[in-house]
Structure 1
């Protein structure tokens, strides 16, 4: 083979397992056309081009079809790989005499319809058809997820052991870590064989680009991630950095909620992580406070100039700020023609970020800075009461054990699927 590659036998070679790869290779001919055609027969089960098209439509819809033709072609190949994995999972479940009933699939489909269309499956059917997908395609995905979960419950979960000592050690660490940060993280994990590292890394980088352009992390996790958390949009739940692999912990440490980073090389592949939220261990989160607020607002007349609006907003803010608390603000507002709306059940975390921070720093009777626009008018919020959240006790023993078991099941599941791929007979058409 060295002669065919135009290399001497003394050329340096890198070894990965039993696969010998020369440091410099010459590719003869075009890449294998089999990997470019979006149909396959997996252990006798056919995946058609239509199957790929309809599953692609789900991802494209989540990204408002804002992908280049090159990205769509890469997406097509990834969707085919996902369908192959899904087929292997369903086949393995059936071989273990695990059957997912039509009723179970329909119930899950109804839940999806309920979340998006108020329990209207007809509207869901019409939406899927409109975007180029189908109810059958989504139900097939649901079947694959249910089959794999049930298979893991039977063939993997019973052999996962987490000792009481391990759980108690984590609890002790949590108590010692009181006041430190914990993170709610989403992950997209892409497995990469030693000879496919560069290809998978490139694919992961494109996913990151598409997510930063507005793609749905949950949708991408469901379609791309090869971790068992794909079924829940990649959500790992609340964890401390010590529970993550060192590579992910280092990357997550400096993220702020809403940020993502990746691809990150981890054992067996690459991960993309997204910080959903952040809080302090065993400490009440100020954003969980329930606020009693009064919103005071005025509208601008049509045609008002920017300078006139600025002057009126300044006068409005000065007048409201001088009101002697919530008991007097109604009369002050009425005197200048302002409207007052009261709400005593506002969660701080439901306010927009900058306004959230401003209101949480108020004392009772103080007002936020004015905000708004010429079109919507100007508004201020006055804090009339605040009920802070109670200090959480953290996960109990059983919850923590379940979390640790789930993490180990996830790792074993990745190995299980890798073995299924290795043993599969796949013909590309």
Structure 2
């Protein structure tokens, strides 16, 4: 399993990904249908009923909602305001700098909580005599620079400095992930056991579900009581506006979601709609990949949904087809009037429609003053969502309707060939067993971290 914000997953089998900067949803490997973990009512989660709390408590002392404690001492180790600022800069950069002032303070508090967790993880690893060599951290940092930026470490350091962060901040995050991963490998993974019978049972379930639709959904869940619903709904709407404006769903899920899926950027994995409550299943059924919906009201709060992908269990996905395409495009001179552009686009569409297959595309382009670009190795799913269904309905030699704008020009895609995907056979026994083990390790890791928080001595400044 790969995570969104952290650099490494808690699983020993995870691969490195630069989530802190890219903050993109990394695909969960395999075809295991993970059950959704939805937030339970507050009483079930925290044992509120056992505390015998009054319905309308009287608060003694003044509570200042504008007071923010920016730093902390965790078991004697200081987290400075600079630490918070530099880590916050990564999130702001990942969202294109489009974080409004009213969201910044809430993000700052969440970053502080993340740094506290990171500190606890490093401390626990050190107590278990697990030390991460600085050379290993540097090697990982260098690999991140090369794999994710295609440039040298010095260039990455310069970039981090330019956004208000630092190489030291990112290296500390790397160190925390490596330490936690190694600790789990020693203290958790050896005690995780998935029997052969459990794996066979899961394989039987997958085979029985063959052909049924599964959805890979991201969720941001915000809990609310009857008294707090108006405020929580307003907060959910603000987050939705930020997401529509280009904000990273993974980053916002990690910072704000109160579901257990927050640690993986809100990714619920592959699920069937029957696993969702009706309030979520109904809008999810109408969504296309890449679409956002919400806030959706639930009995216990609000959810924002993002459809990452959908598929049919153990069936070939048409969107995995590999296409051979030709793009034919024309550009408009700067300052072209909309009326003139529309006329030229109409003429372009007429000529393109008369092209007899891909062999005639180049000659037709010359007569139009158009440009032709060929690509023989593009998957349907890599195209914009709006074009995928259109392309799948084309026969070889046909084109999409023209699309574009005055600024970008007008273009069409012509289908020159298509290699359909093979039927999905599903994970083999070892792959499925590995996925199930990873899932259990991650759940145990969440409990482990919760216990560390409970036992920690934390002073806020």
Structure 1 residue 106 corresponds to structure 2 residue 138: yes
1:15-26 to 2 correspondence within 5 Å? 16=48, 18-26=50-58
Larger Rg: 1
How far apart in 1 are the matches of 2:98 and 2:327?
39
The 2-side partners of 1:424 and 1:56 are apart by: 23
SS in 1 for 2:309: strand
Residue in structure 1 matching 2:79, options 44, 47, 52: 47
Provide closer, same or farther for how the CA distance between residues 204 and 108 of structure 1 changes in structure 2, counting only shifts above 3 A: farther
Counterparts of 1:416-427 in structure 2, within 5 Å, are 416-427=448-459
Whether 1:240 aligns to 2:305 is: no
Please give the per-residue CA displacement for 1:5-55, whole angstroms capped at 9, x wherever unaligned. xxxxxxxxx982542321112223222899831222111111122222222
Q: 1:275 — aligned with what?
A: 307
Determine the structure 2 residue equivalent to 1:394: 426
How far apart are residue 208 of structure 1 and its match?
5.2
Deviation at 1:304, TM superposition (A): 5.2
Deviation at 1:361, TM superposition (A): 1.0
Q: Counterparts of 1:208-227 in structure 2 under 5 Å? A: 210-220=242-252
1:174 counterpart residue number: 206
Asked whether 1:120 is paired with 2:152, we answer yes
Give the secondary structure class of the aligned counterpart of 1:111: helix
- 2:7 alignment counterpart: none
Distance 1:120 1:158 in 2: 37
Instruction: After superposing the two structures, state which structure 1 stretch, 200-209 or 281-290, moved more.
Output: 200-209
Check the 8 A contact 2:214/2:273 in 1, yes or no: no
Match of 1:372 among 404, 412, 436: 404
Higher mean alpha-carbon deviation, 207-216 vs 30-39, is at 30-39
CA distance in structure 2 between the aligned counterparts of 1:104 and 1:133, rounded to whole angstroms? 21
- Contact (CA 8 Å) 1:364, 1:383: kept in 2 or not? yes
- 1:346 corresponds in structure 2 to 378
Moved more, 241-250 or 35-44: 241-250
* Partner residue, 1:314: 346
* Unaligned residue ranges in structure 1 (runs of 5+): 1-13
List runs of 5+ in structure 2 lacking aligned partners.
1-45
Deviation at 1:231, TM superposition (A): 7.7
Alpha-carbon deviations, 1:193-221, whole Å to 9, x = none? Answer: x9xx99x9789846555434422234445
Higher-RCO chain (CA-CA 8 Å, sequence separation at least 6): 2
Question: What is the CA distance between 1:350 and its match in structure 2?
Answer: 2.6
CA distances 1:165-218 after superposition (whole Å, capped 9, x unpaired): 22212211211222222333446689x9x9xx99x9789846555434422234
After TM superposition, the score normalised by the length of structure 1 is: 0.80
CA 379–332 in structure 1, closer or farther in 2 if over 3 Å, else same: same
Partners of 1:339 and 1:15 in 2: CA distance: 66
When the two structures are superposed, what TM-score results if normalisation uses the length of structure 2? 0.75
Question: Are the equivalent residues in 2 in contact too, given 1:53–1:133 (CA < 8 A)?
Answer: yes
Alpha-carbon distance change, 301 to 92 in structure 1, aligned in 2, over 3 angstroms: closer
How many residues in Structure 1 have an aligned counterpart in Structure 2?
Answer: 409
